[in-house]
Structures are given as C-alpha cells and as structure tokens.
Amino acid sequence: MNSIPNSARKKVMLALCVATFLAAIEGTIVSTAMPAITGELNGMKQYSWIVSIYLLMTVISTPIYGKLADLYGRKRMFIAGASIFLLGSALSGAAQTMNELIAFRAVQGLGAGSLATIPFTIIGDLYSFEKRAKVQGWMSSIWGIAGISGPLMGGLLVDYVSWRSIFYLNLPVGLAAMILLALSLKENFEKKKHHIDYPGILTFTIGMFCLLYALELLHEESGGGTNWALIISLFAVAAISLALFYLIEKRSPEPMIPLQLFRIRTISMANLDSFIICVINVVIIFYLPLWIQGVFGKTATFSGIAMMPLSLGWPLGSIVAGNAMAKHGMRRLALAGSFFVIAACLGFTFMDAQTPVVWMMVCTFLAGMSFGLSLTSFTVSVQSAVSWELRGAAVASNNFIRTFGQTVGIAIFSLLLNTGATNSLNPDLLSDSLHQVFMVITVLSAVVLLVSFGLPKKAAIAAAPETAQTAAAKPDTQLEPK
C-alpha cells in the first residue's frame, strides 16, 4: 500500500511489534517453566499436554482467523483473538490443578491463532515484495528481544516469584498491542453478505481435535493407561471428519482453506518444508530445557540462560534472510538453513551428562540460524504468491502448517519420552529417551535438505503476483491514521 501515509504505517508497525513480542515471549517463558509447573501440580505424566493443548487450539483457530480476516478485516479479528488469548492467560495463572491448567491453556491457544497469522498478513498488505522481505527480517528481531529476555525472565520468575507470574505477564503486553492497533489501523469495508463456511469449520475442528487427541493418548497407552478402542475410534472419527472437510471445501463458495492455494508450488513446497522444520523446532524448544534441568541438574534460571543462543540465532538468521531474499530467493536460503539444522541436530545426538554446556549452546545457535533463514523466507514467499483477497488464508495456511507440525511433533515425541515412574525426573531414563528423540530429528533434518532442493528458484517467486499495489487499489479497504 504505497499510498498510505508513512506516519500511519509506523504506528501500525509499532502495534505489530508489540503483538509479535507477546507471541514470542509466550513460548520462551513457558518452555523454561515447564518442569516447575508440572512439579508443583504433580503432573509430570501430563508434561506434553500443557504444550500440545495450546498448540492444538492454535492449529484449529489459525486458518479460521486467516479466513475471517479476509472477510471482515484484520483489526477486528486481531482484537477478538487477542482478547481470548488474554482471558486464557489470566485463567492459566490462577489454575490450581493440572486439569484446570490444561483447560485454560486451550482457551489461550484458541486466541493465539490470531496472533500467529494476522500480523504477518498486515505486513503483506503494507509493503511491496522487496521491502516486505526486509521488514519481515527486522520484525523477527522482536523474537530476539523476547528470546533473550523471555528464558531469563521466566527462570528468575520461577525461581524467585512463581510460575503463575509468567502468564500474568501477558496481560499488560497484550492490552498495549490491542490499544495501539485499535488507534492506528482503520479499515473501511463495503457492507456485503459473506458466506461463512460453518460446515468446514465444524468438520475441521472435530477432525483435528480427534487426530491430535488420539496421538496424545498413545503416550498414555505406552504406560498402560488408556483403552486402545478409544484411540482407534478417535482416529476413525478424525479420518471421516477430515474427508468430509475436504469435500466441503471443494464445494464451498468461500472455503475456510481455499484448496487452490496448495496447487501453487511456492506455497505447497514452503508448507511441506515448514512442517518438518517445526517438528524439529518444538523438540529443541521444549525438550532441551528438560535436558538441562533433568540431565545436567541445573536450575530454571540457568536453563533460560543456556537457551539464549537459540534466541540470538533466530532473529540473526531472519535479518540475513530479509536482506538477501530479493537477491537470492527462497531456495538458496532454505538450503543454507538445512545445513545449519543438520549440524545442530548431530550435535544434540552426541550429548551426554558430561557434555559441556557450551557445546549445547553452539548447537542451539545453529538451530536458531536455521529457523530464521528458512521460516522467514517461507513467510515472505507465501505472502507474495497470492493476491489481497487470498493473502490472509495463504499466510494462515503456512502458520497452520507450522503449528500443526509443532503439535504433531510434541505428541509423537512424547511417545519416546521416559522420565521415570513418578513425578520426579530420572536422569538416566530421561537421557536415554531424549537421545532417541535427537536421533530422529537428525534424520528429519536430512529430509529438510532433500525437500529444500525441490523448492522453486528465485524466478518462480519473482513471477508471483505483486500484491501491495493491488491491495492499495481495492475499493473496499483502506488504512488511515485516526
């Protein structure tokens, strides 16, 4: 939108930075506090549920917010989602049992879908392809600020205040983001009747919930606690629901997930690579703090400090990708990221209880560089591959795939996790099981490299429709300073 006054654009970008900080610090603080939370609430066997239920609801809500943002405007859906997220944060901080915390994390995840996709959609509206890449790269520096402050702050709060404060911290940041966006972003839409894909939303929600719930129950079954008939039934319901969802989307005039998006090579290949990378990503983010505290025997504060290289490498890789995207294209950046993640995963595989912490920190830095290079280039490419009216759905599809990868990853790898028979961590059993996890993600990192060779070259991306000017010319929406 080149015709937008620069003052308005700056205000919107400030609001988006605050919103991105909110989403970023949520992940870094909670991952550091997980052992303390499960220890106090006697829920080590439900360790993965705190993460997976949040990711599950984020997976379900992300494409819904993306589509509704295309229909009813970015600001309205962002504020609605952020309000739900803050409600879930407040309730999570007040939880007294593991079951309560899991339920409140579900509410939090239901709102998080808007934070995961709408800010990136707005960036796609504001800037042309060349500027979009640079802005996206610099926006990722917010993840660096949150990544550096989040783990350390989370560790300090857990050790000296309470793990509950990590959820309450979301409230002032979230309110600030909502107020800034409400004051700076104005959208005028033509009043016209829209078709809401309710059957698609319903079948998608049922299918995804049953699929991921079944995967979670498999972990409990490995300890002898769940009925196989229930798991098989859930898989069956998931298969039927998702098959119905596919048929509904083919016939819907305004589908929740436009299937034609996946016929665009840039989007389909970027989504496939994003899925595998985010399976690896969730293991590193949530299982390394468990290794540090359970195998190395360190505190939550030390865990936060040791994870800082990941938070430094990610925004650094994003900034490099943002500046190099227009010149080198998605494929070269993704290939570079593939080599970094292979090196990192190999390093994790060779760790043991006597490994210097510095070794692990170098590996986490390499992993962060990989995520920054790859995921930033995928985001910009997906934004640029479609026109305005599909951009929200396209960005949401990529974010959905990423969160889906994290959700599936945490569910599947929980099958390999063995912390012992009680709520206390057994270092030997934990070390052996995490070694299996690290070996699997090393294999997956090699798959990432193979998929990256199939990504479109720079010319394919450059040929995609340039959409910033198209959006500015649309008669039903405009951005103005209030």
Annotate 123-146 with three-state secondary structure.
HHHHCCHHHHHHHHHHHCHHHHHH
- Arithmetic mean of pLDDT, 354-363: 91
Alpha helices per DSSP H over 252-356: 265-294, 300-306, 308-349
pLDDT tens digits, one per residue of 22-52:
776 776 677 677 778 877 887 666 666 787 7
429 and 332 in a common domain? yes
CATH of the domain at 466: 1.20.1250.20
The answer to whether residue 481 sits within a structural domain is no
End residue of a domain, out of 253, 286, 301: 253
The answer to whether residue 405 sits within a structural domain is yes
The answer to whether residue 389 sits within a structural domain is yes
Q: Containing domain of residue 85, as a range?
A: 6-186+254-473
Q: Is there a contact between 105 and 41 (Cβ–Cβ < 8 Å)? A: no
The answer to whether residue 350 sits within a structural domain is yes
241 and 123 in a common domain? no
350 and 422 in a common domain? yes
End residue of a domain, out of 253, 268, 289: 253
Measured CA distances, 98 to 38, 207, 395 (Å): 8, 25, 33
Measured CA distances, 466 to 42, 110, 129, 212, 322 (Å): 53, 32, 7, 37, 17
222 and 134 in a common domain? no
How many domains would you assign to the chain? Answer: 2
240 and 98 in a common domain? no
Identify the residue with better confidence: 453 or 472. 453
405 and 259 in a common domain? yes
The answer to whether residue 268 sits within a structural domain is yes
Q: Band the pLDDT of 156: cuts 50, 70, 90.
A: confident
104 and 31 in a common domain? yes
107 and 227 in a common domain? no
Q: Is there a contact between 121 and 467 (Cβ–Cβ < 8 Å)? A: no
234 and 135 in a common domain? no
End residue of a domain, out of 213, 235, 253: 253
361 and 248 in a common domain? no
For residues 34 and 339, what is the distance between their CA atoms, to the nearest angstrom? 30
For residues 79 and 14, what is the distance between their CA atoms, to the nearest angstrom? 15
Q: Band the pLDDT of 438: cuts 50, 70, 90.
A: very high
361 and 287 in a common domain? yes
**How far is it between the farthest Cα atoms of the chain?**
65
Identify the residue with better confidence: 139 or 354. 354
The answer to whether residue 478 sits within a structural domain is no
3-state secondary structure of 294: helix
371 and 309 in a common domain? yes
Q: Band the pLDDT of 192: cuts 50, 70, 90.
A: low
The answer to whether residue 247 sits within a structural domain is yes
What's the pLDDT at 48? 67
The answer to whether residue 482 sits within a structural domain is no
Share of the chain above pLDDT 70, in %: 83
- Arithmetic mean of pLDDT, 259-266: 82
- Arithmetic mean of pLDDT, 246-253: 87
For residues 405 and 161, what is the distance between their CA atoms, to the nearest angstrom? 33
Burial 332-347 (b: 16+ CB within 10 A, else e): bbbbbbbbbbbbbbbb
